[in-house]
Structure 1
Amino acid sequence: MMDTAARARITLWWSLFLFLGLSFAQTAAEGEAGTLKVGAVLNMRSLLGKMSRTSILMAMEDFYAVHRDYATKLVLHIRDSNGGGNIQAASAAIDLLENHHVQAIIGPEKSAEATFVSDIGNNSQVPVISFTATNPALSSANVPYFLRATLSDAAQVNSIAALIKAFGWREVVPIYEDTDYGRGIVPYLVDALQEFGASMPYRSVIAQSASSDQVEQELYKLMTMQTRVYIVHMLPTTGSILFKRAKEIGMMTEAYVWILTDGIANVVNSLSPSVLDAMDGALGVRFHVPRSKELDDFTARWNKRYRQDYPDDSLSQLSIYSLWGYDAVWALAQAAAKVRMTSPTFQKQKYRKNSTCVGTLGVSTVGPKLLDAILQCKFRGLSGDFDLRNRQLQFSTFQIINVVRRESKEIGYWTAKQGIFRNLNQDVSAHTYLNPMPDLNPVVWPGQTHIVPKGWQIPTNRKKLRVGVRTSGYPEFMKVQRDPVTNAITATGYAIDVFEEAIKKLPYAVPYEYVSFDALGVNYGSYNDFVYQVPLGVYDAAIGDITIRHNRTSYADFTLPYTESGVAMIVPVKDDTNKNTWIFLKPLTGDLWFASIAFLIYTGIVIWLLERRIRNAELTGSFFHQLGTAIYFSFFADRERVESILARLVVVVWVFVLLVITSSYTANLSSMLTVQKLQPTETDVHELLKRGEYVGYRTSSYVRELLEQLGFERSKIRAYTNPDDFADALDKGSKNGGIAAAIHEVPYIKLFLAKHCKGYTMVGPIYKSEGFGFAFPKRSPVVDDFSRAILKITEGDAIIQIEKKWIGDEHACKNDETIISPSSLDFKSFLGLFLVTGVASTSALLITLVMFLYKNKHKMGINIGRDQVQRGHGTELVTKRIQERAADSDILRRMIQMTTPARKR
């Protein structure tokens, strides 16, 4: 048997052998998994393709220079699509998969190419990472193996729309190339602009293969339109042609606004000087890249490397796409190291009849793991935070630039949370928003001007502004005539003067011509028909006595109203004075009559009590005779009859109250008997409806619809053409073939009362409306300018002079307002006086009662004592007391007779 030492040596040798075996096996495995083949499909004929190639190669070198201990390394295979389009890019991808068995593909450049390549990669379960395909329609929801290491074009539309709103532009025209890249942004841009209150009256689509002459032809077409704000969404090649031609034909002047999407804005510093000169003054939005020392160092190295690789393109500068390509390679290298793949292979798919070469490609065995590892990568790259968890980068901050003198000048930033602001380190919450202009650094617009373009312009080579006019039922508002010789249209009236005055106040010249509604053969049509000619394109504007109504705003935009608003009634007036037998009762209301009589009786009772206490000789006889005498004292008291001081005080206060009431009564009665009081015969439209009265309206007016909505039967509504017809119908009355009231708009009523001053008045308004305004096409840029001009007119003396010219002096007629008759006096008007006399009478009564109780206090004590004596001494004392009282009474009677004056005896 082996000893213990021998066994220990054997065990040690076996352990060492096993350890070495495992080490060799692991080394062999790692040697097999030491490389991961990656393909890149680039267009080496394009500027972006060349820049991307330099960035990708430098990313490979930099990553493994930092991570030397990583066992798995990427092996790059680059294929040039040569700008051959979708088929060439797809062929390059198939070659990489079939011949080189790549486990990931970087690129291609264009969105349409990426669509084809991503389908191939998805079929083979090979991740496709594109840092230049920005079409929002290319979604990883349908192609899960497609990763967008860049921003979708949809991410920038809100920043563009916010810029449009900030400068107050109402309409914009997108200019984009007819490719998947160009068309993809349009639906998102439309939604964003609508949310911010702007619209697209036209879309300019330019073919990718369009020649310079074809681009120029499209630009000339844009010059014939009003809109002067353009959003350019193109690749740099097509965009360069566009701006050069725009510069040549005079579209880079102070009247135009050019906004660049990130397709050009991201590489603007790499464009040629001639292109930068052509786009001088343009604005642009692009992804903001935070500054860092690492970025500065890389930029310097990249510029040096690019000049070495492409000495003929020495003007090119590092772009965000190059940074995204750089970070995408780093993410792929990190994911490859995490997966630790062993012998990555492709499994052949099952054979399918009539399948293409794509269908015969194998399926990657490590593709799913590699995809998950890429999605989990999150780091701080040269472009900022790099995170593909949502299968595309998430935007944070956009930079707003201004192309000035061949450079991109930073003028501000935009974020979804804070909107537009000037500097990254400023306190955006402290912004007051009182300044209507956006918080940006000064902008140099095309033409080297600092004045913000208004965004639209009447083309000089366009026909005059066609202004629709029609004769009104009131010619003072508008009258249209046609010259029989020249066939020229002339228009006069209140509305014409306001329109022509507004034209003068516009900050620009607007040539115009009047077009009569008669020419359509429907001059007697409704005003709805007249306004509807604007959206039909018959007129560029419709002016006149057009009421701004809700249903009309659905197909036309209106200026601010230039007249008063509302619908009221015209009714006859009558003298409301009722000089009948009982008119003397009307100056006082019933409650005041009742209060006066009640206080009169109360005052008489108080005087009677006060005088009765001192035994006034006038207060003799029955109770009612005495009370009547006391009330008489209230009217005709003198010092001889009223003997008590307190009673005299009560009488003085009451006489003062009575004097005020009688004076007011006399004045009010005199007014009722002498002043003519004109009152409307009708005051409530609902009373007319209840009684079934006839009402009138002007022919072709919307008031008929209003009356029907109120409940009037059609048979009770009568139409009239001119003011004289209204006057005749009102004079006849509802029961004699006329009307009880004319329902009219306030501007017309003022004109009616100016002509028919006597006998009519206005009641209301009974219904609100917005007054008269001018109609323009929806979203017309001139509406705001016309509205501001109308405000200047209505706030100044101009509107007063126009009204005097066509309507007359509104203060000349005395019946234009309802004359309010003097009202009866009520109890509340004299409440203070009644309170004074009531307090005085009650106080006097209380004082008298207190004095009486005080004086009789001693006598009451004597009487109580005597009663006790009577109860103690029996009937004898009672008899003696009766005799004494009889004697006292006889003595008291004699004293009264002696003190009474001789004339009263």
Structure 2
Amino acid sequence: MSDIITKQGKMTPGQVRCNYTSQPNDKTALQLIKDAEVQAIIGPQNSMQADFVIQLGEKAQVPIISFSATNPSLTSLRSPYFFRAAQNDSSQVKAISAIIQAFGWRQIVPIYVDNEFGEGIISFLVDALQDIDARVPYRSAIAPSATDDEIGRELYKLMTMQTRVLVVHMAPKLGSRLFTKAKEIGMMSEGYVWIITNGIANSLNAIEPSVLESMQGVLGVKTYTPNTKELQNFTVKWKRKFQQENPSIIDADLNVLGLWAYDAASALARAVEKVGTTSFGFETTNASSNLTHVLETMGTSQNGPKLRQVLLGTRFRGLAGEFNLVNGQLESSTFQIINVNGNGERAVAFWTPGRGLSKKLNASNTPAYSTSKNNIGPIIWPGDASSVPKGWEIPTNGKKLRISVPAVGGFKEFVNVQYDNSTGTPQVTGYCIDVFKAVMETLPYAVRYEFIPFGQSSTTFDDLVYQVFLGKFDAVVGDVTILADRSNFVDFTLPYTESGVSMVVPITDNGKKNAWVFLKPLTWDLWLTSCCFFVFIGFVVWVLEHRINEDFRGNHANQIGTSLWFSFSILVFAQREKVVSNCTRFVAIIWIFVVLILTQSYTASLTSLLTVQQLQPTVTDVDQLFKNGDQNVGCQKGSFIFGMLKRMKFKESQIKQYNTTEECDELLSKGTANGGIAAAFDETPYMKLFLGKYCSKYTTVQSVYRTDGFGFVFPKGSPLVSDVSRAILNVTEGGKIKEIESAWFGKETNNCPDSNTRVSSHSLTVASFWGLFLIAGVASLTALIFSLSVFLYKERYKIFAPSVAEVSIRGKIQRILTVFDSLDSLHPAGEKLQQEKNNKVFPKGSPLVNDVSRAILNVTEGEKIKEIESAWFEKETNKCPASNALLSNNLGLASFLGLFVIDGAASLAALIFSLSRFLYKERVLTEFDSIDRFHPAGEKLLQERNNMRYERNPPN
């Protein structure tokens, strides 16, 4: 204080009273205010004494300036006369969380002294850790008076836990004992992370070297004090004076608490100087010996309000840095991250509220706020390790992980618990167990665990998960589904199975093996279209061949029958009639192509209907279950699906539960009418196993609910979750998972054919063949128009002769039909036909007929006819292979539309061509039915008719 009084020239030593006591208490402060009438108090020294003193100062309007009471809860008192000339403990939690975030640690255990000083920081620390997704699974509180044995028991408890990141907040004296014990039991070894707050870090220079030896590798958050010239000069003077007063203590150092005390006294001296010293005094009241009455009758400082106002505005550069009280609190400044190494500390980084972590102060390349570990210098960790600890370990010297597994119910292929008859030891097997073991083997470190069966017949999976939340188990391994509501209490790993809930229903054969099944391959519209085209093609062929081909002549019934016979016989390629018109051949070729495809398709479809089993589900969706009435449904016992079905509006009486695949099969086989179920709802892995066993009876028809599959359960924030999840990815992406699936499900799934091989035959529709019919129709119409055009052109003189110009339309039509019905002698085929008739017909009653007929019999019954046939036809017939039957497929009309289009077009073209020729040659409407003498075939046919007339009526 003498140094401060010297600097403040207007103050005298008589105006300053310093009361030093080794055990300050509430009574001391009361005496200073009441008896000594002090105008301000610098103190108290710790947070436990602060509450009463602060209230006392507020009552007497005396400023209380503390340089060591750092408890954040003191701020909540909101006393206008309390000033904290030290950093609030809560200001360092952001620096601690930045360190933790930089190294990616997820769980932290605070170790703190069990008093107001220790507890004050915990809530702020937890909030800061939650902001970076870190958890505090346990809080270790140590009493201020704890013995070494009590400290050791608490540390041993921490050793059995997984978390290895420990934050220590306590006074240096208790902290020294803690680290000495931790070193003794092996907790200062590799893998541990120790972080001390500024409660110990600010006083490291006062800790004995033996204790520092136990703290090697510890990280600390320490208040940063700039090394100014003024500080250096003051430190030299302080050491000199301290050495004079304490000659037994050598090389003492001044910590930041001393600097804060000096700055607090300097601020008060500045304020007193500014206010003046002439008005010091108290307004007193009647004295009392009773403490409560004393507070009520205590006087108030006349100068206190002025000192308070001046202190709030006091700003200067002190020994500890900038002195600026914001709302009565020293403004937060920079923290230094230190690493205990050797006989002292080493700075590895700095932290500021604005820039976060940085290796140097005021670094220009530091971003706005950084928590990167690249901004932290090299650190020597406990155990002289240079690699960053992962922050957690499975305690090998502690108990094993307690892994809970479902004890009863469920599909035994997933989890099966059996007990040894002699020892009673549980033997746990199953798909989930093998996956978990494979995952544990993939981890880069060893994990000791044991399986503990849990549950009774009424136990649900939610009950099993909740046991982890209660801390009774360390994990759950089994067919546990990842659900949102469960994740509120526990953490799940990534899934290791397929996801989703499906509905399984029985299947039935819908095949109709009856006498009329041959009609089913084609739909009615295709049948009708085909029949119409057969008639149409027959008509086109008749038009094209009638005037030049004897096979298509005769009475009307014979002409109709021959035309239809020709068209339909193409189905089996058995047509006997020869065609002589090129237009007819064009139409026939296209129609043969259409019929070939149509018959092949029909044959294949009919074969499918008669031979392939057509399996269809009895129910197609959930809505159908409601439409069919009160249908029962099923789910696995203890599953969350029971609640899901109730939310889907199924009555509880409609929901039946099962434990095994056999029970599910029995319920589905009975059906609702016999006390069974119409559909089963279960998760995809279960249904996959079930269908593997009973694929011939059931099928999956709908995915009704989405889940995330099966996962392993761990406590909230467990560090094992991330490592186990990565191990699951390694197992599921490799070949190991296939080996496990094959071992547990291979027999069932291999016996089941692929569901895609089930055939459901459908009738062929006209849409599959409209292209074929269109082509056939256009071709036929083209041929028809062409033929008629030629007919009209050839017979134009007969049809359009002047003699028939005045004939009625009906008469003209009759004339055209008459001309058309005659042989076309101008066509080569018609001419040849006429000649054949002239040459091969004998006159009526000719004696040659009988003799020639007998001679024909002699030739055809002898070897001569074979010699003639061999000479003319043997080469061609030997070249022709036997024809094979063709099978058809089940198709619709759309598949044949192109063929019909081609055939129609060809037929139409031939018809147009024939009619054109007819109109050109005859020209007279009434002679349409006459023979086309300009067509070679018509000419031949006309000659044959003339010969026949000559024989019937020979000239006289």
Same fold? TM cut 0.5: yes
Partner of residue 712, structure 1: 650
Q: How many Å apart are 1:127 and its aligned residue?
A: 1.8
Partner of residue 468, structure 1: 404
Partner of residue 304, structure 1: 236
Q: Which amino acid aligns with 2:425?
A: A
Q: How many Å apart are 1:283 and its aligned residue?
A: 1.5
Partner of residue 280, structure 2: 345
Check the 8 A contact 2:340/2:346 in 1, yes or no.
yes
What is the rounded CA distance, in whole Å, between the counterparts of 2:580 and 2:22 in structure 1? 131
Quickly say closer, same or farther: Cα 1:216–1:727, change in 2 above 3 A.
closer
What is the rounded CA distance, in whole Å, between the counterparts of 1:513 and 1:218 in structure 2? 25
Q: How many Å apart are 1:313 and its aligned residue?
A: 4.7
Partner of residue 541, structure 1: 475
Check the 8 A contact 1:349/1:362 in 2, yes or no.
yes
Partner of residue 40, structure 1: none
Q: Which amino acid aligns with 1:542?
A: V
Matches within 5 A, 1:628-643: none
Quickly say closer, same or farther: Cα 1:335–1:738, change in 2 above 3 A.
same
Partner of residue 498, structure 1: 435
Q: Which amino acid aligns with 2:632?
A: Y
Partner of residue 328, structure 1: 264
Q: Deviations over 1:866-891 (max 9, x none)?
A: xxxxxxxxxxxxxxxxxxxxxxx999
Check the 8 A contact 1:349/1:359 in 2, yes or no.
no
What is the rounded CA distance, in whole Å, between the counterparts of 2:922 and 2:642 in structure 1? 98
Partner of residue 278, structure 1: 214
Check the 8 A contact 2:608/2:761 in 1, yes or no.
no
Q: How many Å apart are 1:138 and its aligned residue?
A: 0.8
Unaligned runs of 5+ in 1: 1-55, 612-617, 619-624, 849-888
Partner of residue 566, structure 1: 500
Quickly say closer, same or farther: Cα 1:676–1:76, change in 2 above 3 A.
farther
> Is 1:699 paired with 2:637?
yes
Partner of residue 718, structure 2: 780
3-state SS in 2 of match to 1:725: helix
What is the rounded CA distance, in whole Å, between the counterparts of 2:750 and 2:447 in structure 1? 38
Q: Which amino acid aligns with 1:274?
A: S
Check the 8 A contact 2:60/2:301 in 1, yes or no.
yes
What is the rounded CA distance, in whole Å, between the counterparts of 1:702 and 1:232 in structure 2? 44
Q: Which amino acid aligns with 1:296?
A: T
Check the 8 A contact 2:109/2:165 in 1, yes or no.
yes
Normalised to the residue count of structure 2, the TM-score between the two structures is 0.70
Quickly say closer, same or farther: Cα 1:361–1:741, change in 2 above 3 A.
closer
Q: How many Å apart are 1:134 and its aligned residue?
A: 1.0
What is the rounded CA distance, in whole Å, between the counterparts of 1:680 and 1:540 in structure 2? 44
Which of the residues 929, 939, 943 maps onto 1:902?
939
Matches within 5 A, 1:377-396: 377-395=314-332
Quickly say closer, same or farther: Cα 1:730–1:308, change in 2 above 3 A.
same
3-state SS in 2 of match to 1:473: coil
Q: How many Å apart are 1:148 and its aligned residue?
A: 1.4
| Aligned-pair identity (%) | 42
Q: How many Å apart are 1:767 and its aligned residue?
A: 1.7
Quickly say closer, same or farther: Cα 1:208–1:727, change in 2 above 3 A.
closer
Partner of residue 17, structure 1: none
Quickly say closer, same or farther: Cα 1:826–1:387, change in 2 above 3 A.
farther
Check the 8 A contact 1:559/1:774 in 2, yes or no.
yes
> Is 1:129 paired with 2:61?
no
> Is 1:147 paired with 2:147?
no
Normalised to the residue count of structure 1, the TM-score between the two structures is 0.73
Quickly say closer, same or farther: Cα 1:76–1:299, change in 2 above 3 A.
farther
Check the 8 A contact 2:24/2:44 in 1, yes or no.
no
3-state SS in 2 of match to 1:164: helix
Check the 8 A contact 1:680/1:818 in 2, yes or no.
no
Check the 8 A contact 2:223/2:336 in 1, yes or no.
yes
Check the 8 A contact 2:63/2:304 in 1, yes or no.
yes
3-state SS in 2 of match to 1:544: coil
Quickly say closer, same or farther: Cα 1:733–1:358, change in 2 above 3 A.
closer
Quickly say closer, same or farther: Cα 1:192–1:597, change in 2 above 3 A.
farther
Check the 8 A contact 1:299/1:318 in 2, yes or no.
no
Partner of residue 874, structure 2: none
Which of the residues 165, 170, 173 maps onto 1:237?
173
Q: How many Å apart are 1:139 and its aligned residue?
A: 2.0
Which of the residues 757, 761, 784 maps onto 2:699?
761
Q: How many Å apart are 1:98 and its aligned residue?
A: 4.9
Check the 8 A contact 1:162/1:420 in 2, yes or no.
yes
Partner of residue 528, structure 1: 462
Partner of residue 251, structure 1: 187
What is the rounded CA distance, in whole Å, between the counterparts of 2:921 and 2:169 in structure 1? 132
Quickly say closer, same or farther: Cα 1:330–1:727, change in 2 above 3 A.
same
What is the rounded CA distance, in whole Å, between the counterparts of 1:58 and 1:660 in structure 2? 117
Q: How many Å apart are 1:126 and its aligned residue?
A: 2.1
Quickly say closer, same or farther: Cα 1:670–1:110, change in 2 above 3 A.
same
> Is 1:734 paired with 2:666?
no
Partner of residue 549, structure 2: none
Q: Deviations over 1:150-203 (max 9, x none)?
A: 221122223323433443434332222233211211222233333433333333
Q: Deviations over 1:44-65 (max 9, x none)?
A: xxxxxxxxxxxx665555x54x
Q: How many Å apart are 1:128 and its aligned residue?
A: 1.8
3-state SS in 1 of match to 2:692: helix
> Is 1:687 paired with 2:724?
no
Quickly say closer, same or farther: Cα 1:890–1:742, change in 2 above 3 A.
closer
> Is 1:163 paired with 2:99?
yes
3-state SS in 2 of match to 1:730: helix
What is the rounded CA distance, in whole Å, between the counterparts of 1:832 and 1:898 in structure 2? 39
Check the 8 A contact 2:523/2:766 in 1, yes or no.
no
Partner of residue 344, structure 2: 407
Which of the residues 725, 740, 747 maps onto 1:802?
740
Matches within 5 A, 1:60-75: 63-64=7-8
3-state SS in 2 of match to 1:719: strand
What is the rounded CA distance, in whole Å, between the counterparts of 2:163 and 2:450 in structure 1? 21
Matches within 5 A, 1:638-677: 671=608, 674-677=611-614
Q: How many Å apart are 1:839 and its aligned residue?
A: 15
Query: How many matched pairs?
Result: 784
What is the rounded CA distance, in whole Å, between the counterparts of 2:515 and 2:269 in structure 1? 113
Check the 8 A contact 2:107/2:137 in 1, yes or no.
yes
Q: Which amino acid aligns with 1:388?
A: L
3-state SS in 2 of match to 1:546: coil
Instruction: Report which stretch shifted further, 129-138 or 812-821.
Output: 812-821
Partner of residue 553, structure 1: 487
Q: Which amino acid aligns with 2:208?
A: S
Instruction: Report which stretch shifted further, 241-250 or 414-423.
Output: 414-423
Which of the residues 692, 714, 727 maps onto 1:789?
727
Structure showing greater Rg: 2
Check the 8 A contact 2:37/2:282 in 1, yes or no.
no
What is the rounded CA distance, in whole Å, between the counterparts of 2:637 and 2:515 in structure 1? 47
What is the rounded CA distance, in whole Å, between the counterparts of 1:667 and 1:641 in structure 2? 34
Unaligned runs of 5+ in 2: 545-551, 553-558, 571-577, 787-919, 943-956
Instruction: Report which stretch shifted further, 375-384 or 725-734.
Output: 375-384
Check the 8 A contact 1:753/1:816 in 2, yes or no.
no
3-state SS in 2 of match to 1:210: coil
Matches within 5 A, 1:573-652: 573-578=507-512
Quickly say closer, same or farther: Cα 1:634–1:754, change in 2 above 3 A.
closer
Q: Which amino acid aligns with 1:375?
A: L
Q: How many Å apart are 1:388 and its aligned residue?
A: 1.5
Check the 8 A contact 1:570/1:763 in 2, yes or no.
yes
What is the rounded CA distance, in whole Å, between the counterparts of 1:599 and 1:432 in structure 2? 85
Q: How many Å apart are 1:786 and its aligned residue?
A: 3.1
Quickly say closer, same or farther: Cα 1:184–1:783, change in 2 above 3 A.
same
Q: Deviations over 1:544-589 (max 9, x none)?
A: 2233334433444333333222222332233344566887787788
RMSD over aligned CA atoms reads 5.0
